[in-house]
Amino acid sequence: MNTKPITLLILPLILAACGKSAPRIAVVCEENNVGNYIIKWETMPRLEGDVRIYASTDPGYIPENTPAATANITDLRTTVVSNNPTQRYYYTVLFAGKHRVKTATRNVSLPGIQNFRDMGGYPAYSQHKQVRWGMLYRSAEIDTLYPASLQKLKNMRLKTIIDLRAPSESKRSPLKEKEFNLVRIPIDVGDLENVVKNIDEDQLTNDTVYHIVEQANREMIYKYTKEFRKIFDLLLDKDNYPLLIHCSSGKGRTGVVAALIFSALGVDEETIMDDYRLSNNYFDIASASQQAYSLPVPYQEAITTLYSAHTEFLNAAKDAAECSYGDVETYLRKGIGLTKDETRELRGILLEERGL
C-alpha cells in the first residue's frame, strides 16, 4: 500500500459543490478533555463569510434550524459545547450559506474501551462519495461495559457487534450485555499474551516480532476467506447497522478487516493506511506493554512493536492478496466471493454524497 505521508491525516477533503469553482474544504472534529468538540477547517481558496454548525444525534438527519455554534470562516476553528456525554453528535458545517460538510469525531470516547473509532467520513469510490458516519465502527476488545459507555452505545443505536477474537481470548473478557446482537467470527492468529510471554522467556527480538505479525497477517488472507465472507454477509444486511467490529487491540485482525471493507467501498490505499495507523494514537500501547518495563530494552521494543500498527504489517496482508490474486479487488471477488452486484449493494448501504 502507498506509504507516503499526507499533511492532513484525518481531514476528509471535501469538494463541497460541483463545478470548476468549487472550493476545497477540509474539516476535522476533535473531542477535548472536558467533553466539548473542537471543529477546525481550512478552505482553498480563502472564503469570506460565516460558518454555522448544526448538530444532531442522528447522522442521517441534521436539521438546519438553530446552529449549535457560529464563527467567522477566518477563525479556522470553533468550540461546540456538549451537555450530554452519553450522546454522540454529528455535525453539518455550513460555509458562507452554501457549502456543506458533514463531520464527527473519528475517535469515540467510551470509558473502558480503547481504540473505538467511527469508520465514516472517508472519500470513497469517487470524489462525490464518502463513507457514512455512524454506521460502521471498529475497536479493541470490549469487556463488561461501564454504565456510561453502555448508555452511549445504546444512544448510538448500535445493533451488531462482530467479535474476531479466538475462543480462548473471548473467554477471558466476555461481553455479557444482551442489548446487542453479538456475532463471534473467530480469526485465530495466536494469543498476544503468549507472544508477550515468549518475548521474555524465549528472548524474542524486535525483528522476530515483525516476522510473527507479518506472517499472521499473511495467514489471515490465505486461511480466513470463509470468515471474511461471513463478515461481508452481515455488512450486506441493512438491519445489522450500526455495526461494530473488534478484536483484542483493534489493530491486527480488525485492521485487516477494515482495510478489506474500505477496499470494497473504493477508498484509496493511502487513506486505508492512514486509518490503520490511527491505532497508534488511540490504543494505549504503554499500558498494554507495562509488564515489559522491567525487561531489557530490546525486549521492551519487541513488545511495543507487537502492539503497534506498522505500515509493514498491513502491507503484508495486501502483498499476500496480490501474490495469490493479482490485486485486492480480485481477492475480494474471487477469494472472498464478493460479486459486483454485492459490491454495488454494499456501497449503496455505506456510501453517501459528499456534498450536501
- 356 and 102 Cβ atoms separated by less than 8 Å: yes
SS3 assignment for the chain: CCCCCCCCCCCCEEECCCCCCCCEEEEEEEECCCCCEEEEEEEECCCCCEEEEEEECCCCCCCCCCCCEEEEHHHCEEEECCCCCCCCCEEEEEECCCEEEEECECECCECCECCCEECCCCEECEEEEEECCCCEEEECCCCCCCHHHHHHHHHCCCCEEEECCCHHHHHHCCCCCCCCEEEECCCCCCCHHHHHHHHHHCCCCHHHHHHHHHHHHHHHHHHCHHHHHHHHHHHCCHHHCCEEEECCCCCCHHHHHHHHHHHHHCCCHHHHHHHHHCHHHHCCHHHHCHHHCCCCHHHHHHHHHHCCCCHHHHHHHHHHHHHHHCCHHHHHHHHCCCCHHHHHHHHHHHEEECCC
CATH 2.60.40.10 domain residues, the chain: 1-105
What strands, in cross-sheet order, belong to the sheet with 181-184?
117-118, 136-139, 243-246, 160-163, 181-184
Q: How many CB atoms lie within 10 A of CB 191?
A: 15
C-alpha cell at 20: 470548476
For 1-105, the fitting CATH number among 3.40.50.620, 2.60.40.10, 1.10.10.60, 1.10.10.10 is: 2.60.40.10
- 48 and 67 Cβ atoms separated by less than 8 Å: no
- pLDDT for 13 equals 45
Q: Which of 169, 136, 336, 312 has the alpha carbon at shortest distance from 247?
A: 169
- 243 and 231 Cβ atoms separated by less than 8 Å: no
- pLDDT for 9 equals 38
- pLDDT for 6 equals 34
Give the mean pLDDT per block of 10 residues along the chain (356 residues): 38 44 89 91 94 97 96 97 92 96 96 95 87 97 87 96 90 76 91 67 78 93 97 98 96 97 97 97 80 69 87 98 98 98 98 80
Query: Is the link from the previous residue into 174 a cis peptide, with omega within 30 of 0?
Result: no
Residues in the chain, overall count: 356
CATH 3.90.190.10 domain residues, the chain: 111-351
- pLDDT for 16 equals 38
- pLDDT for 204 equals 74
Q: Does domain 111-351 have CATH number 3.40.50.1000?
A: no
Q: pTM here?
A: 0.90
- pLDDT for 354 equals 82
- pLDDT for 127 equals 64
- pLDDT for 35 equals 86
The CA-CA-CA angle for residues 256, 277, 186, to 5°, reads 25
